[in-house]
A and B are shown apart, each in its own frame.
Chain A
Amino acid sequence: MSDVALELASITKRFGQLTALDAAALRARRGTVHALLGENGAGKTTLMRIAFGMLRPDAGRITVEGAERSFASPTDAIAAGIGMVHQHFTLVPAMTVAENIALGGRGRFRPVQIRDAILALSDRTGLAVDPSARIEDLPAGAQQRVEILKALSRDTRILILDEPTAVLTPTESRELLQKARELVSEGGTAILITHKLRDALEFADDITVLRRGSTVWSGSASEATEEALVAAMLGGERLNTEFEPNAGTTTAGAGATVLSLQNVGVRDTTGVERLVSVTLSVHAGEIIGIAAVEGNGQRELLRVLSGRMKASNGEVRIPPVVGFIPEDRHRDALIQDFSLRDNIALLGAGARRGVVNWTAIGKRTRDLIQDYDVRAPDELTPARSLSGGNQQKLVVGREIDGSQTALVAENPSRGLDVQATAAVHTRIRAARDAGMAVVIYSSDLDEVLALAGRVVVVHAGKVSEPPRQYDSIGRAMLGLAVK
């Protein structure tokens, strides 16, 4: 049997205009934990979906244990000995552990046999679960164990774990990663998708780094240094030339404090701390940029700042109405079936009483359409019929052009083309110049730097303010010491 368990060579994958993977490569040796590192959107998950047969590559070769393969579906990949644990749970909450593990198998469901098989597997791997427990009653760590057992139950020799620790507490995460190490000692192979540098260095044998769809670094973990990996992940040179590098530094002179948080904490419904003792103030006439790797609490921070979420503790001082541009425009910003006018009427709808002045709102909508260059026939057009860029321009207009004194924007240029992005940026800068207090988060650090005068980093629910430099911010985002 070959020493290489899984080899992906020159994998290219395009989605329309976007090249998600550009000749990406990965070589996972038998009996090792292999970490696949990269920023958000670097193509890690896409590459692994190709390895698991969920996507077909446009070019490139997949070799499993020495034999070249072509997967039409995950069923083929499973037959070849590959298992995958997805970033989000794929379990049926109302069903038991045994039923979930049996799900997707063939033939009859034999409860006793399944139970025995799970207990045997559980014994062998040390992943303790109760086969008769219902998924919805289990904590996240136990659900993750079930996911792994499910993947292993199909004679899996290569296990792909996509951000397995994203939903786990720090203790659960360490246990899980240690378990992964034990599993490979029996000759299996684990591929760990992560953006946590420390996890990769501590638990992996080999590391592959992806950046913007290409493999930019690969080698053994013992040879890797934090510096080399940070440089590889973030890139030595600027790749994205869309944004003016220092356009954000011109702050129009900070005014009074508009948004202020004092020791604010947020716990989610399961009791996990998403924000820990955050203190932050935003002044009139400045743009504060938030930089963070997905899932570090920036989502909660933006919602607390905009009054869309209540803090669990601490003191929050914000104006009654804060403009908010959410990341998921279709779900949170617009009602697709409503007309443009009715979408503009959403602003302040919660506090409105009596009769709606549709004439005034109609006029306001026409003005916004004109001022913000929204391409729409008239104000009664349904929002659904507008392109993403035009929808976003309308949202930006609504959230800026009113009595608001503060604006919170989350990935405001997501899904927009270059022109629409530039238009949105111009508006956000104009809002700052007009004296609004602005907070902007973008998963693209270049965009944050293009707009913000100050950059605040959120890592593991805590905020810090490193020097406004690419490298320092990058290190802080990954939770490393800032030099």
Chain B
Amino acid sequence: MAFVVDMLVHATPLMITGLAVAIAFRAGVWNIGADGQFIAGATAAAWVGVSAPVEIRWLALIAALVAGVIAGAIWAAGAAWLRSRFGVLEVISTIMLNFIATYGASFLVRGPLQEPTHVYPQTSGIVSGAHMPVLVSGTRLHWGFVIGTVLAAMAWWVMKYSATGFKVRASGVNPFAARSAGLIDVSRVTTIAFVVSGAVAGMAGAIEVTGVTFALYENISPGYGYTAIAVALLAGLNPLGVIGTGILFGALETAAGTMQRNIGIPSTTASVIEAVVILAVIAIAQLRANRVTRTV
């Protein structure tokens, strides 16, 4: 039971950032910056959570989550604007923004947002009204996991059934045909998808702060936004699939920690397994694609 709880707690940020990456990739936007957007969201949520004047439950929590969403969206919007206005490759700009977010958060927890004793590189704890309610009492499992699952289901529905989702998919697969045959404003659609992707990643950061850490630390993300790429790809960019692959990666990382503590197997073994899984999935997908083209 403890393992299942840990696994789902670990899976939550991976699942939601994985969803963010899947949304962007579906639109043909190579958002490698989910990590930066996650940190931006976590930072904004912590700032609001610490300085929230009222202890009213829900209000402080919602304010913190909204702040995280907005911060993540803004973090992505910078790169989205550079992309649509100047054609700057988002792969490069988002990676750079990751560094800015990482070290920006470092600066804040050692400077303006540092806890009052100025001993630890972290913020004060967020007010209790900003804490995410626990899902199963007596455990660490919080409602963030449910929020992530619902978000993924919503994204799946939008992609499959809505006009907007169709525009996103068409623009991502073949922007030329989307423009010429569909008269879709591809630049607008991809920009929106990019910003939404950032908002979702920011939400993941806010959920992590309000549900797990209750404060902003240095290195709040051990690279969630990068693992998210693997989570999204392994799910075939399907938002529903992200729930499954997010849990799988959560399990691997939880197990890695346990194995290292209990029987001394290096936790990096999990990274090796993750890489092997991804390679296998990509190879199988490619083999299938080859078989299709050969029979035609």
Contact = CB atoms under 8 A, between A and B. Distances in A.
Interface of A: 307-308, 321, 324, 326, 328, 331-338, 342-343, 345-356, 358, 384-385, 395, 398
Given A332-B181, A356-B161, A349 B176 contact: no
B107 interface: no
Given A334-B181, A335-B170, A358-B161, 17 more contacts: A307-B183, A321-B183, A331-B176, A331-B177, A332-B177, A335-B173, A335-B177, A337-B173, A338-B173, A342-B170, A345-B166, A346-B170, A346-B182, A349-B167, A349-B178, A349-B183, A350-B185
B2 interface: no
Interface string B93-137: 000000000000000000000000000000000000000000000
B174 interface: yes
Nearest to B185: A350
Contacts of B182: 346-350
B296 interface: yes
Interface string B145-173: 00000000000000001110011011001
A351 B181 contact: no
Contacts of A331: 174, 176-177
A349 B163 contact: yes
B184 interface: yes
Contacts of B176: 328, 331-332
Given A350-B167, A353-B163, A384-B296, A324 B184 contact: no
B92 to A, nearest CB: 15
A355 B163 CA distance: 6
A324 B163 contact: no
B262 interface: no
Interface in B62-105: none
A335 B172 CA distance: 10
18 contacts: A328-B176, A331-B177, A332-B176, A333-B177, A335-B170, A335-B173, A335-B174, A335-B178, A342-B166, A345-B166, A346-B178, A348-B182, A349-B167, A349-B183, A350-B167, A350-B184, A354-B162, A398-B181
B166 A352 contact: yes
B180 interface: yes
Contact of A324 (B167, B173, B181, B296): B181
A347 B183 CA distance: 8
Nearest to B174: A335
B181 A338 contact: no
Contacts of A352: 163, 166-167
A124 B174 CA distance: 48
A328 B177 CA distance: 10
Contact of A349 (B161, B170, B173): B170
A336 B174 contact: yes
10 tightest A-B CB contacts, nearest first: A349-B182, A350-B183, A352-B163, A332-B180, A346-B182, A350-B184, A335-B174, A346-B181, A331-B176, A335-B177
Given A351-B183, A385-B296, A346 B163 contact: no
Interface residues of B, number: 21
B180 A308 contact: yes
Contact of B184 (A321, A328, A349, A353): A349
A356 B166 contact: yes
A308 B177 CA distance: 11
Contacts of B170: 335, 338, 342, 346, 349
A355 B162 contact: yes
Contacts of B183: 307, 321, 348-351
Contact of B180 (A324, A338, A342, A353): A324
Contacts of A398: 181
B172 to A, nearest CB: 10
Nearest to A325: B181
B128 to A, nearest CB: 41
A355 B161 contact: yes
Contacts of A307: 183
A305 to B, nearest CB: 13
A324 B166 CA distance: 20
Contacts of B292: 384-385
A102 B44 CA distance: 53
A198 to B, nearest CB: 34
A395 B167 CA distance: 19
Contacts of A324: 180-181
A356 B163 contact: yes
Contacts of B185: 350
Contacts of A350: 167, 182-185
Given A348-B183, A384-B296, A354 B163 contact: yes
A402 to B, nearest CB: 12
Nearest to A335: B174
Contacts of A334: 174, 177, 181
A122 B238 CA distance: 57
Contacts of A321: 183
Contacts of A385: 292, 296
A131 B268 CA distance: 51
Nearest to A328: B176
A87 to B, nearest CB: 22
Interface in B175-209: 176-185
A321 B183 CA distance: 9
Nearest to A332: B180
Of B166, B170, B177, most A-chain CB atoms within 10 Å: B177
Contact of A347 (B167, B173, B181): B181
A349 B292 CA distance: 28
A116 to B, nearest CB: 36
B181 A333 contact: yes
Nearest to A320: B183
B282 to A, nearest CB: 17
A338 B182 CA distance: 13
B196 to A, nearest CB: 17
A353 B180 CA distance: 18
B286 to A, nearest CB: 14
Contacts of A349: 163, 166-167, 170, 178, 182-184
Given A335-B173, A336-B174, A349-B166, A326 B180 contact: yes
A379 to B, nearest CB: 15
A318 to B, nearest CB: 12
Contacts of B184: 349-350
Task: Give the one of B174, B184, B185 with max A CB within 10 A.
Answer: B174
A353 B163 CA distance: 5
Which of B167, B182, B296 has the largest number of chain A CB atoms within 10 A? B182
Nearest to B167: A349
B160 to A, nearest CB: 9
Nearest to A382: B292
A350 B168 CA distance: 11
Nearest to A306: B180
